[in-house]
Amino acid sequence: MKSHLLIGVMLACLIAGCGRKQAEQPSDKNTNSTVGNPLTAPADYAGAVVRSKTVAEKVVDVASLKQAIQMFYASEDRYPQDLNELVKSGYMPTLPKPPAGMKFQYDKTRGDVRLVPAQ
């Protein structure tokens, strides 16, 4: 089980690190920017840590759910009817809680789960 968690964390780091890089826009040299300012560096760092922790938690939760769904499919030759069936069948100890303002959306025909804004 620890190896599955380790794989999930490594997958989350890989996904979080990959992405398209946008071209930088030339900035006006007369504007005062707080980005890169040594006086605001601790606050900038703390904000970045909080944001990255939130993103990593989202990725790990969805990755662990997808992995449990694939294990269920491999054993049962069908997708679970709902996410609670993963817990009932013993593929997960409990369902992870989605971040505030979000919910898990599960498609039982494709076995796909993702985070969407709660309405």
Each domain of the chain, given as residue ranges in start order, spans: 44-119
pLDDT, tens only, 3-14 = 666 677 666 666
Average pLDDT of the residues in 15-21: 62
Average pLDDT over all residues of the chain: 77
Q: What is the mean pLDDT of residues 4-25?
A: 63
Query: Taking 90 as the threshold, does the pLDDT of residue 74 lie above it?
Result: yes
In a 10 Å sphere around its CB, with 0-12 CB exposed, 13-18 middle and 19+ buried, how is residue 68 labelled? buried
- State how far the Cα of 80 lies from the Cα of 98, in Å rounded to an integer: 19
Confidence of residue 72 (pLDDT cuts 50, 70, 90): very high
Higher pLDDT among residues 85 and 32, named by residue: 85
CATH 3.30.1300, domain 44-119, yes or no: yes
Q: Which of the four pLDDT bands, split at 50, 70 and 90, describes residue 61?
A: confident
pLDDT in tens, 96-106: 888 888 899 99
Pairing type for strands 112-117 and 102-107 reads antiparallel
